[in-house]
Amino acid sequence: MGVPLMYCLLRKTRAGRPCHPRHKPMPSTFVPTSDPTSVPRRSQFTATVTANEPLCREHYKLTLQLDSFPNTEPGQFIQVACRDMAALYSPETEFDWQPGQMLDFAGRELMSPLALLRRPFSLAGRRDSSSGVELDLIHRIVGVGTDWLAQLRPGDEVNILGPLGNRFTLPASNEQAILVGGGVGIPPMLYLAEKLAGRDAVAFCGALTRDLLPLTIIPDTTNPGEDSFTPQPNILEFARHGLRSVISTDDGSHGYRGFVTQALEKYLDRTEGDRATPIIYTCGPEPMMKRVARIAADRGIECQIAVERAMACGMGTCQSCCIRLKRDATRDGNAFAGKGWIYKLACTDGPVFKGADLLW
């Protein structure tokens, strides 16, 4: 018989630390049934934390190592179990149990808050090597789930499910990609930048204040004052792929003083006529994305928006993540007939939508 269960319960369970010292994750014996409706290969994976570094106030970069992971593209996300999933299904509690032994986990989640549902996070980067796959997530502490993530340490295990959602459509060769990220909307822009290495692309990143920018700012590279909306090689994460960028802070603590959308407008106005056809990619707080969509629409620029919605399943079963789109009879068939709009699911139809389609 295993170590008595009370021992597990009394041990202070740290984030990602299986409560039992002899714990081994359940072997994944399940082979998916062939699915005629969608691309297979997606699954549930146990990833190992290789780093979880604070980037700035409240923001962490979590790096996860996996033996393998399906192909992914910028815009896609994963569903992260922000708690120790192994505790629920640990072999100690399930299979070494003996009649008569106390077996009661009831109430643990009532004693301290525990993230019940998975939390969606955009992929912020990916590296493939002979030893497997590394995924980057950037997360900001806003509640119980992200607080748990912030406590993860190298070697801890995290259960993830994915990849989920659609993806950004990359620009045509004659187009200039303009990436606009605000706050925790910046992570998918970093992954997109990886794919745009060497291409004509610039990035605009904004936050309330400098220490809420989850980015590595290269010292002395940001133009001060008037010219601060001219892209510079000033953010390491973009510069390493050859992208110049503009930093804005609402309080002026770094770069352009004001909203990132204002810097974007100034840039578009000034470069009007002497640049390739632009295409805008954006993710961030909803008011910001709405403004970006407006700016793009006013100028006839294509705009792809990665939206955020509260999600339970992340794969089209629960109908919780709906967002309003303009109805298009050719695309939508009989659905929502007689209405000018339609609900789409952010998790499966999105998270990336065309700005021109979104009614929010």
Partner 1 sequence: MPDLSLNLASLPLANPTLTCSGTCGYAFEYADFMDLSQLGAFVTKSITREERVGNEPARIVEVRAGMLNAIGLANVGLDRFLAEKVPLLKRMPCPVIVNVAGHSFDDYVETCAAMDGLDCIAAVELNVSCPNVKDGLTFGTHPGRLKELTALVKKVLPHKPLIVKLSPNVEDITHTARATIEGGADILSLVNTFTAMAVDIWKKKPRLANVTGGLSGPAIKPIALHLVSRVYRTVAKSAGVPIIGMGGVQTWQDAVEFILAGSSAVAIGTALFVDPATPNKICQGLTEYLVKMRIDRLSDLVGALEMPGDQPAKSTYP
Ligand X SMILES: Cc1cc2nc3c(=O)[nH]c(=O)nc-3n(C[C@H](O)[C@H](O)[C@H](O)COP(=O)(O)O)c2cc1C
Minimum gap (Å) between residue 20 Cβ and partner 1 = 16
Question: Could you say which residues in the range 318-347 bind ligand FES, by CB under 6 A?
Answer: 318-321, 345, 347
43 interacts with partner 1 by CB under 8 A: yes
Assigned token pair, 192: 């997109």
> 221 is in the binding site of which of ligand FAD, ligand X, partner 1, none (Cβ under 5 to 8 A by kind)?
none
> 291 is in the binding site of which of partner 1, ligand FAD, ligand FES, none (Cβ under 5 to 8 A by kind)?
none
Residue with Cβ nearer partner 1 (125 or 163): 163
Compute the chain's Rg from CA coordinates.
22
The whole-angstrom separation of Cα 89 and Cα 330 is 47
Residue with Cβ nearer partner 1 (141 or 276): 141
Q: Which residues, 6+ apart, have CB-to-CB distance to 124 below 8 Å?
A: 61, 136, 137, 138, 187, 188, 190, 191
Helices within 95-244 (DSSP H only): 108-111, 144-150, 186-195, 236-239
> 278 is in the binding site of which of ligand FAD, ligand X, ligand FES, none (Cβ under 5 to 8 A by kind)?
none
> 34 is in the binding site of which of partner 1, ligand X, ligand FAD, none (Cβ under 5 to 8 A by kind)?
partner 1
Minimum gap (Å) between residue 149 Cβ and ligand FAD = 8
Beta strands 175-182; 201-207: pairing state: parallel
197 interacts with ligand X by CB under 6 A: no
The whole-angstrom separation of Cα 302 and Cα 295 is 10
Residue with Cβ nearer ligand X (318 or 359): 318
With both helix axes pointing from N to C terminus, report the angle between 260-271 and 286-299 in degrees, rounded to the nearest 10. Answer: 20
Binding positions for ligand FAD, rule: CB under 6 A? 77, 115, 117, 119-122, 138-140, 142-146, 184, 187, 308-311, 351
Query: Is there a contact between 167 and 74 (Cβ–Cβ < 8 Å)?
Result: yes
Minimum gap (Å) between residue 225 Cβ and ligand FES = 45
The single residue among 212, 311, 323, 342 that binds ligand FES, judged by CB under 6 A, is 311
The whole-angstrom separation of Cα 251 and Cα 257 is 6
The single residue among 312, 324, 326, 356 that binds ligand FES, judged by CB under 6 A, is 312
The whole-angstrom separation of Cα 99 and Cα 80 is 34
Among the residue ranges 44-52, 136-144, 185-193, 317-325, the one whose residues contact ligand FES (CB under 6 A)? 317-325
Q: Which residues, 6+ apart, have CB-to-CB distance to 301 below 8 Å?
A: 268, 278, 279, 280, 295
Assigned token pair, 198: 């060497």
The whole-angstrom separation of Cα 260 and Cα 285 is 11
Phi, psi dihedral angles at 223 (to 5 degrees): -65, 135
Residue with Cβ nearer partner 1 (64 or 260): 64
Assigned token pair, 251: 């309080």
Per-residue contact string for residues 299-318; x = within reach of ligand X by CB under 6 A: -------------x-----x
Residue with Cβ nearer ligand FES (164 or 295): 164
- Which residues are near partner 1 by CB under 8 A? 26, 30-38, 40-44, 81, 85, 88-89, 94-95, 97-99, 103, 105-106, 109-110, 113-118, 159, 161, 309-310, 312-313, 315-323, 334-336, 339, 343
- Which residues are near ligand X by CB under 6 A? 312, 318, 320
